[in-house]
């Protein structure tokens, strides 16, 4: 994979929380090497306010995030994806578009922080946990020796990253 900038798409059903967090993290941590995008199979039309609040508190620029359909990345003028990661179980089970170029893909499932019930403290904690897990996975991903891995080794590495557990990184 001797490419200078890789296009990465994070997919979820609603594209309002998990995939947005992943897009933000990779966009920052992988700047210059990765072009991060996110989309949903059934976008909610707005980004979850808790996701935006958390990103803003961590000094991310939040003005360009929006909930959008994966159809935007299935058009002829869309960037060709090199990697596609599903971050929710529903999106992983859905029939996805056929992506041009056969990008490497893996399922990096994360519990939906937007589904957490309770007070504001519990909801904020759920978003923080999701952020930490996605950050740990993305850190592993951007540190892969992409130019040295064959397709089979790359696929195995991507699947292994998706198995990183939340509890192992909550104290990070």
Q: Which of 1, 58, 96, 144 is catalytic?
A: 96
Q: CA angle 38-171-133, nearest 5°?
A: 15
Instruction: List, for residues 127-155, the tens digit of each pLDDT value.
Output: 999 999 999 999 999 999 999 999 999 99
Task: Give the mean pLDDT of 5-19.
Answer: 95
- Told to judge if 12 belongs to the known catalytic residues of this protein, a careful annotator would answer yes
The SS3 assignment for 86 reads strand
Instruction: List, for residues 160-172, the tens digit of each pLDDT value.
Output: 999 987 544 444 4
User: What are the structural domains of the chain?
Assistant: 6-169 (3.40.50.2300)
- Nearest partner of 112 among 143, 90, 79, 145, judged by Cα: 90
Q: Which of 88, 134, 146, 158 is catalytic?
A: 88
DSSP letter assigned to residue 79 = P
Q: Which of 12, 37, 47, 126 is catalytic?
A: 12
Considering 15-24, 109-118, 162-171, the range whose residues carry the highest mean pLDDT is: 15-24
- Told to judge if 88 belongs to the known catalytic residues of this protein, a careful annotator would answer yes
- Told to judge if 37 belongs to the known catalytic residues of this protein, a careful annotator would answer no
pTM: 0.90
């Amino acid at each position: 994979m001797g490419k200078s900038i890789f296009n990465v798409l994070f997919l979820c059903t609603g594209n309002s929380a998990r995939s947005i967090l992943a897009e933000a993290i990779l966009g920052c941590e992988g700047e210059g090497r990765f072009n991060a995008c996110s989309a949903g199979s059934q976008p909610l039309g707005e980004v979850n306010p808790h996701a935006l609040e958390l990103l803003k508190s961590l000094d991310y620029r939040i003005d360009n995030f929006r909930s959008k359909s994966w159809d935007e990345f299935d058009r002829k003028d869309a960037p060709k994806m090199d990697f596609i990661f599903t971050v929710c179980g529903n999106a992983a089970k859905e029939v996805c578009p056929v992506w041009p170029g056969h990008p490497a893909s893996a399922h990096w499932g994360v519990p939906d922080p937007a589904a957490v019930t309770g007070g504001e403290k519990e909801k904020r904690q759920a978003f923080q946990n999701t952020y930490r897990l996605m950050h740990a996975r993305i850190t592993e991903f951007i540190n892969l020796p992409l130019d040295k891995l064959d397709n089979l080794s790359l696929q195995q590495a991507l699947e292994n990253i998706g198995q990183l557990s939340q509890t192992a990184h909550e104290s990070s």
